[in-house]
A and B are shown apart, each in its own frame.
Chain A
Amino acid sequence: MKILSFYLLLLLLSVFESKGKNVLHIKHKGFKLLKSIPEPSDIVFDSIGHHYYIVSDHGYLFECDTNLNVVRKAEKSGLDFEGIDIRDGFIYISDETPREVYKYRMSDLAFVEKYPVSWGGAANKAFESISYNYVRHCFVLVAQQPTVLVEYDSTFKETGRYKIKGARNIAGARWHNGLLYLLSSLDASILVCDPNNYNVTTVYHLNVLNPEGISFDDRGQMRLVSDDTRRVYYFDKLPILHQ
């Protein structure tokens, strides 16, 4: 009984400790189970075609309508697709384990070419995210652990590295409204970064299990994907918060 009380005390301490911190907790308003996409790992919204593109841990690329029904699947597959972004009519995908970036043509999901990228850390803790920084005009891939952001030019030659502080891991990245949003699956949080220096300006905490991919639709509503639950979670627009 005394031991049980001890653990309950610890729980209470942790709850009280989180109170009063200048962070914001946000909750999803629903979710959809992706029955036909095994282990979905990232999601991106195409504001022109109004379709979502989702990648799977099994190395597949899917195109989905706004209701997240699969409409097309790329013929060419990889090994461990973990991050996806869209730029200038092409889809770029991070294949985490073999350290490669796949390039597909959006119009017909045809494979174009792939680029080697370098990360010497654990096989399954490499680049789970890819996005484009429109301020510094470069691709960014963020290593899951340790949390290091690596900049690449258009041919995926490395141009810079930055240590990201404030999260135990990074599993997703997305450009939105002039800011870079980084998603931590281990901490279930979103870090909003200044795109000039990658300093974290805002933190949102989530009630989602192991979120791995982040996207915003054309109205700014956020979508998170979780491979462990095989779900896409729906959120409203993120509230503005200044720390």
Chain B
Amino acid sequence: MKISFNWLKEYIDLSGIDIQEVIDKVTLAGLEIEEVIDQSKMFENFVIGHVKEVKKHPNADKLHLCVVSDGVNDLKIVCGAPNVAENQKVVVAKIGAVIPENNFEISKAKIRGEESFGMLCSERELNISANHAGIFVLDNEIEAGTTAAEAIGLNDVIIEVAITPNRQDALSHIGFARDVAAIFNRPVKFPSLDINEIDEESSSLASVEILDPDLCPRYVGKVVKNVVIKESPEWLKTRLKCIGLRPINNVVDVTNFVMHEVGQPLHAFDLDYLSGSKVVVKKAGDDKSFTTLDSKKRELQANDLMICDGQKTVAIAGVMGGENSEVTVNTKNILIESAFFNPSSVRKTAKKLGLQTDASYRFERGTDPEITVWAAKRTAQLIQLTAGGEICKGEIDAYPVKFELKKVELRFERISKILGYDVPNEKVTEILTNLGFEIVSKNNESVTVAIPLRRHDVEREIDLIEELARIYGYEKIPDIERVKVTLEPKFDETAFENQVRETLNGLGFYEIITNSLLSETVSNRFGNSIGVLNPQNMDMSNLRTSLLPGMLTTISRNLKVKENNLQLFEIGKVFNKKNDVIKSFDDFSEDSMILGIITGRSIDTEWYSKDNNFDFYDLKGYVYEFLKSITDKEIEHSYKSESNQLFEYSVKLELDGEELGIIGKLNDELCGGYDIEHPVFAFNFNLEKLSSIPVEEKKFKELLKYPKVFRDLAFVIDNNITHNEVSETIKSGSSKLLHNIKLFDIFQSESLGEGKKSLAFQLEYFDETRTLTEDEVEKDFKNIIKNVEKKFNAKLRG
């Protein structure tokens, strides 16, 4: 909302107060000023000039060489306007001036060989009208050298105020003035309503009937006869233009003016088009559509509140009037509507229609039912002032159920209890009174006030405390330096995922965060996805069912910028539907997942390394290292490769028979869909499952006091026999003295024979209670060789 200071000053005396101080203080009190336009600053370097001489430009037919006095100096200015002439008073943009229309800064220029020290401006260039036919010529009485701001009355300060949804009462100049008045302890002045009414009663010319009093508790009508519709006078147009409104005609402009003056939205009907000269306020019912005054046909719902006449619908209540009864140049008699509509009803209708107007914006926030009569009178007064005519006596005031003022008690001790500082009792009553709260009773403990109906946001003691705090000033609350310590049990529900992050960082993985919203097709490919009713676009219409698409998109994007070697992970939620209709938290799952990938090379080609492509064994190494940080228990894997749409091959990791997650190589086709040609190895775990692995308390293990004995051996064996089969056989045929089996070499060569490989193991023997003898190790060792040779038809090498 825009507020003009020139306009504001009609309702509050701001003498002696700097505008900046007003801006700072209202901002602190909750009316946030987002932008300040100081017109006089906008017109710095613009002065009124006297055109002394006009000659033709020697090198251009349409240009003139002018000499213009700025009151002190004569300036040479090249001007292209057809209407420039000697002895005119014009607006000169001097060097350094910035043209409001296009932010162009004037500098010394040479135009077709002739120097120019400024520019003569059109009205459009000054942003004061659309006129660009020629330069703006002013009254000759104005002296050269006068600032342009002063000469054309552009000395206003306009502010853009962000009004929070609770403060509809501040959505007007008088409303804004009320807060300023309370802050500076000055009164608000209402304009006088001294009007001449004719004897003819408004109620004899029109009638109002409310069929849905819940949705329209009050409807005030007033009639003005014999008006002449024409352009508004300058003062009215200036007011509206200052706050960014386009003047239309005197009657419409007056209704807009009064709305921005006092906050009451108004509508003017052409009374002669109201059949039966009556207004009926009722729900749309069977009416299916209506054409609003912007000539658009609107679809209606049965519960939308409408304004009707004896036969037809004439307006959507609180939203927009109709084409069939709008004020036109031929309008003679006017019915002014000044009503209070149910906020949530207006909001529902406006939302459904996708039509937010200045009126609906105010009605849905709750207007002031008490101001309706005043606003109707004020509108009539200004219509008469600008359009002539006769004001009919009195108002038609349909007010079926009267609102009662709410009374709220404020206990003084609660102020310091909530705010932590005391507001003196006199200050309390002063602030509340200045805000328009009437003191009903008062004693040493408390004060009871009546809340004006415009303050829908104030209904409890705490709301009054807020009013005090914001007007008295938050800055008066002391910066305390001590806070209480409370000793309830402490917890950190992010501790586990942070531990996971740190372990993976230590292993060289970078964390990524991707969008949780994906397209329906993509999301459904990985699960049973949940759609959003109102997505921004179809690429972000469904919640992700997997972290994989985000990861693949990330890999793909990195490959495009030649970042080919990636070690990444993401921790995030995935969402899956369990039932088609979501009525409770049981109908869907929301799981915390961790997905990691490696792709490209572990080390790029460097002076010390050639080819180091990541492979499955890198992945497995990382994953086992990672899992070691979570549990000491042994992780089993299924040893049975699975191939599916996601993985070319993969194995499931288990702990005590419970599946923890999966590791493997992603399907080439899947990756290909993201233009990824390198192999990608991935692990995917459910974070909640990992965090629920019981952590066994660490117990110190006595260090081994006796020497270890190592034995190496290598077998030549069939290619298809796995490392695991051999090591299991070694283990099963060995004594309890064997503690570790390490595969330290694996190779194939022609010399070993077709389909053969060599596996070399190092065996680690020890006993915690004594030194081993050569003989017992040798015996065990021989046993192992025999077993393996026999089982796999293997040969001991060397």
Determine if chain A interacts with chain B: no
Q: Which residues of B contact A (CB under 8 A)?
A: none
